[in-house]
Amino acid sequence: MNSAGHPEATARRGLELTPFRGLRYDPDRVGSLAAVTSPPYDVVVRPDGLLHLESADPYNIVRLILPQAATPEARNEQAARTLRRWTAEGVLTTDPDPGLYVYEQRDREGMLQRGIIGALRVSDPSEQVVLPHEDVMPHVVADRAALMRATRANLEPLLLTYRGDDATPATTALVERTAEQPPLLSTTTEDGFCHRLWSVTAPDTVARVRAELSRHQALIADGHHRWATYRTLRAEHPSPSPWDHGLVLLVDTARYPLRVRAIHRLLHGVPVHEAVAALAGHFRVRRLGTSLDESLETLAKAAGSGNALLLAGDGAFHLVDLPDPGLLARTIPTDRPEAWRTLDATVLHATLLAHVWHVPDDSASHISYIHDTAATVEKAERDGGTAVLMHPVREEVVRELARQGVTMPRKSTSFGPKPASGLVLRPLDA
């Protein structure tokens, strides 16, 4: 099976998607379905976005995916109690029959994405069934694992992609045909996306979809830490068990290409003037204007011919490019492909963070990873830190490195649109 997801002549075990009984909000018990949803846990900008979501509705899913308490243990127990209470009160109800779920997202500009949500068999990297493309941070995996242990639930789906083309006619037909039917739910969130969800329970239809997907592999588009969490929890429980599977959204990107955006960095306690001064003799730095859009355009042009990034936080933008080749040769590992060694994220982590700025990249007290560009700049200006704005990586580069088994630096890409959290959960005891 190749990186595009096409079957080989061999009988390699592929994607094994299983129906499940989804746990969903009762629309009669909440203010609105839109008010109880959230972006994925790692996209929520804290604390502002967290407080906004908590105030949107007393039953917002953020109280489960990002519980707030004095200690990690207290947070996880609080989430577990909240989930049990909402279930007991009927705020969340379990669907009567196991099924796969067709999920659609559409924005005001005509962006359309459709896929299938199900419980996917958790596999090891050596099986080449689910391909990661980014490294993970062990403390984040430990945090997510503790939350899932406490709640005994998959609270939000990962985003995986596969290449269907003509190899999945039944699956493609199912998705398109189902989208013509009245949905289980339909809601428009404040970001302008309309979300619709359908349940597919017919055994013969589910069987055809499962058979087609069993000949494919998938790329993790979003959710590397949660996939690593699934693998951790599966290893803790003797098989067979509910932990053998994890909640995912599978999107055929041959039909519905994803958007690829960058994930930015916020360096805490590093003022922009210090970050710029440390670059002297190592990189070229040019002060740009104060327009975010114009600066991003300049970054895109510079990234077309080499490594480039933007620094912000002092009211202006600073373009950083033309790294010293000797510095790169001394700091970047040589045991990886050229495509990996020339990534902006590789240069940032291996050269700038480790050797120029001396900022640990695995500690939330030193660095934050933020998807929203404007929010990154605003937080840097407010907190006196440095925003490091990245240019997105091309999807073909991501897939090729994943095919070779080479992982990119953590938080290198942001594929989207991401599934909203709160539309369907997977309880492990159902």
For 106-142, write each residue's pLDDT tens digit.
999 889 999 999 999 999 988 999 999 888 989 999 9
Owning domain of residue 334: 264-411
Q: How crowded is the C-beta side of 49, counted as CA atoms within 13 Å?
A: 21
The answer on 303 and 191 residing in a single domain is no
Residue 194 sits in the same domain as residue 323:
no
**Residue 154, strand partner residues:** 426
**How much is the pLDDT for 12?**
65
Sign, CA torsion 319/325/330/332 = positive
Outline where DSSP puts E strands in 130-193.
Answer: 130-131, 153-154, 158-162, 185-188
Same domain, 176 and 120: yes
Span 227-249, mean pLDDT?
Answer: 97
pLDDT at 5: 46
The residue with tokens 């360096």 is 267
Categorize the per-residue pLDDT at 173 as very low, low, confident or very high, splitting at 50, 70 and 90: very high
Task: Specify the DSSP class assigned to residue 263.
Answer: -
Same domain assignment for residues 213 and 276 = no
Whether residue 5 is contained in a domain is answered as: no
Same domain, 297 and 215: no
Q: How far apart are CA 211 and CA 203, in angstroms?
A: 12
Q: What stretch of H or E contains 153? A: strand 153-154
Any domain includes 7 = no
CA distance 26 to 366: 41
Residue 6 lies in a domain: no
Angle at 260 between CA 189 and CA 198, to 5 degrees: 40
- Looking at per-residue pLDDT, the higher value among 12 and 417 belongs to 417
DSSP three-state, residue 98: coil
Pair (372, 310) in one structural domain: yes
Asked whether residue 137 is domain-assigned, the answer is yes
Same domain assignment for residues 82 and 127: yes
Could you tell me if 184 and 323 lie in one domain? no
Q: What is the pLDDT of residue 1?
A: 40
Per-residue model confidence (pLDDT) at position 6: 42
Residue 10 lies in a domain: no
Q: Quick one: 58 and 162 in the same domain?
A: yes
**What distance in Å separates the CA atoms of residue 387 and residue 312, rounded to the nearest whole number?**
5
- Going by the DSSP 8-state scheme, the letter that residue 12 receives in this structure is -
Please indicate, yes or no, whether residues 223 and 325 belong to a single structural domain of this protein.
Answer: no
Q: What DSSP designation does 126 have?
A: G
Query: Quick one: which of 132, 120, 214 has its CA closest to 403?
Result: 132
Residue 382 lies in a domain: yes
DSSP, residue by residue, 282-300: TSEEEE--S-HHHHHHHHH
Torsion of CA 311, 412, 255, 228, to 10 degrees: -150
Q: How confident is the model at residue 17 (pLDDT cuts 50, 70, 90)?
A: very high
What mean pLDDT do residues 61-88 have? 97
Angle 96-92-45 from CA coordinates, rounded to 5° = 130
pLDDT greater than 90 at residue 361: no
Number of structural domains, the chain?
A: 2
β-pair partners for 100: 200
Which CATH number belongs to the domain containing residue 81 in this structure?
3.90.1530.10
Element (H, E) at 173: helix 169-178
**Sequence letter at residue 413:** T
Q: Is the pLDDT of residue 263 over 60?
A: yes
Q: Is residue 4 part of a domain?
A: no
Tell whether 357 and 371 lie within a shared domain: yes
- Residue 9 inside a domain? The answer is no
What's the farthest any 2 CA atoms get from each other in the chain? 66
Regarding whether 269 and 250 lie in a shared domain, the answer is: no
Tokens 């055929």 belong to residue: 252
